[in-house]
Structure 1
Amino acid sequence: MSKLRILCLHGFTSNGSVHAHQVRHLTSSLSNDFDFLFPDGPEKVSLSSHMDPSKAAAKAWVDYVSANSSGAGHRAWWFARDPDPVTKSPGGFEGLEKSLKSIGELIQRTGPVHAIWGFSQGACFAGMLVALLGEKNREHPMRVHFPKEQGTPAAGIFFSGFKARFGQYDSIYAPGIEIPTMHVMGKKDTAVSMESSEGLVRVCQGAKVLKHLGGHDVPSSEGDREIIVNFLGEILRRNGKESL
């Protein structure tokens, strides 16, 4: 029997290898029936443009990425650009189309994915993907990036997730996200507030919410991990293959 595939999307300034290290306790708890895909975002990030390199937190992050990376460096799925009243640009996610194409090509190589999860920017992207791959979005123009064999995933998990804030992406969410989803929020998260995460919850039907005691990170307690593992394992084993 072939394994079920879970697409795992890293956060801004991270990369696939670093995210794999962040969630290693989750992935090791899931059975050998699952393959985890940890792609790198196609956009390279100059960290000095987004963090003060003299600060201890920035240095610690650079060291962490270096120690747990395969050499991809700091990556992103896009750069958020605010509206410009001078040029009348509406703003948006610069690089989104490139990332959609990248994920589509990955799926073409590996075969369809059965679930999608993401952290922070990767969780926003994961939310957009599960919405875009929904049955009611089959005619959406952005769907062109994905092979026809990729159907609706069986589940989505969003760690510190949020809904895209630019109006041009509202059509992606308009039909609603109808698959089972879990939204994991840190009560001490200062990067993505629980209010922001709840914006994504509102477009998901029957969403489950897990609030942990930490900050902008994947929950570390055994109890929280068990809830996530049980949710994902149960949904995928029951519905994973039939949903595609």
Structure 2
Amino acid sequence: MPTPPLPRIACFHGGGSKSTIYQVQCAHLSKLLENDFQLIFFDGPFTRDAGPGILPAFRGQEPYKSWFTKDDTGTELGDGSGYDTTGRDGVERVWKMMEEEDRQQAAQGRAVGPWVAAMGFSQGTRMVGGLLLDQQRRMETAWEGEKVRAKLRFGVLCNGSGAPMESEIANHINFENEVVKIPTVHVHGTKDIVLPLSRHQYDTFYDSESRILYEIDYHHAMPWVKEEVEQLASLIRQTYKENL
């Protein structure tokens, strides 16, 4: 009997980074999870300067990418818009990127496992929150009869800050004081300059009944110490098994 394809985790880099850099930053974690999950890395649509911690290690790997841009007044577009004129180029665009990954694999005759989670670092955590919140809202409201594009079971947010990316549904239904109830694992670096913002993100946008906090003695970086990467891998496996 052929081996079933592994479940997949959609991965989102930080601001001023890119998918190939995030792959390097997650190399040890990917190796530990290689028998459990397939990690798929995506690029943000906007070009910007290098983000925190990218230089000098990744010098010369331009263009660096972002998931957000600003309008003419310098105000961030919190729904990820600005890439095209559809008005649905933020969270909706990311769902479509995941669907396109499915189509590409199918065109090559490859079986793919289900999307079961999203993981992000720094700005990429806002993509994780945006996908989870969009899925949660669609499941609760069956908005305009649209399907829930995937059934993400959990999220992993590493050294994050900021609110979840808003999605199209928020323009049509008023969701006040809503938090992400889908299970999440949060990694915070106790020496990270954005730690206060990470704690605000954790306390403000994620339900206390379904979130797990893992603190490490790091600056603004993905875990790299062997024991700490192993602990994160264990938390990911555990969270998945508890939410099958």
- What do the CA deviations read for 1:188-212 (whole angstroms, capped 9, x no partner)? 1113424333335644532110111
TM-score normalised by the chain length of structure 1 = 0.73
| Residue matched to 1:105 | 96
Give the corresponding residue for 1:122.
Answer: 124
Deviation readout 1:75-123 (Å, 9 max, x if unpaired): 00003569x6xxxx98642634423243122221234521001001101
Alignment of 1:32-51 (within 5 A): 32-47=35-50
Distance 1:106 1:166 in 2: 16
| 2: CA distance, partners of 1:195 / 1:150 | 30
The structure with the greater share of residues assigned to helix is: 1
Does 2:34 correspond to 1:31?
yes
SS of 2:90's equivalent in the other structure is: helix
Checking the alignment, whether the CA contact within 8 Å between 1:9 and 1:119 is kept in structure 2 is yes
What RMSD in Å do the two structures reach over aligned CA positions?
Answer: 3.4
Deviation at 1:46, TM superposition (A): 4.0
Query: What is the CA–CA distance in structure 2 between the aligned matches of 1:219 and 1:122, rounded to whole Å?
Result: 16
The normalised TM-score by structure 2 is 0.73
Q: Structure 1 238/198 Cα, relative in aligned 2: closer, same or farther at 3 Å?
A: closer
| Deviation (angstroms), 1:178 | 2.3
Residue pair 1:43, 1:95 contacting (<8 A) in 2 also: no
> Quick one: structure 1 residues 236 and 44, their matched pair in 2 at CA, closer, same or farther if it must change by over 3 Å?
same
Q: Counterparts of 1:15-164 in structure 2 under 5 Å?
A: 15-47=18-50, 61-66=54-59, 69=61, 73-79=63-69, 92-93=77-78, 95-96=80-81, 97-111=88-102, 112-134=114-136, 135-136=139-140, 138-139=142-143, 148=147, 150-164=149-163
Q: Which residue of structure 2 lines up, in the alignment, with residue 199 of structure 1?
A: 203
- d(CA) in 2 for partners of 1:137 and 1:179? 16
User: What is the aligned residue count?
Assistant: 217
Distance across 1 between alignment mates of 2:166 and 2:24: 34
Aligned partners of 2:8 and 2:115 also within 8 Å: yes
Contact 2:7 2:36 in 1 (8 A): yes
The DSSP-based 3-state class of the residue aligned with 1:38 is strand
Structure 1: give runs of 5+ residues left out of the alignment: 52-57
Equivalent AA in structure 1 for residue 24 of structure 2: H
Gaps of 5+ in 2: 82-87, 103-113
- Give the one of 175, 179, 196 matched to 1:176: 179
Call closer, same or farther: CA 1:40–1:3 in 2, change over 3 Å.
Answer: same
Cα distance in 1 between the residues matched to 2:214 and 2:222: 11
1:225 equivalenced with 2:229 (yes/no): yes
Show structure 1 runs of 4+ deviating over 6 A. Answer: 165-170
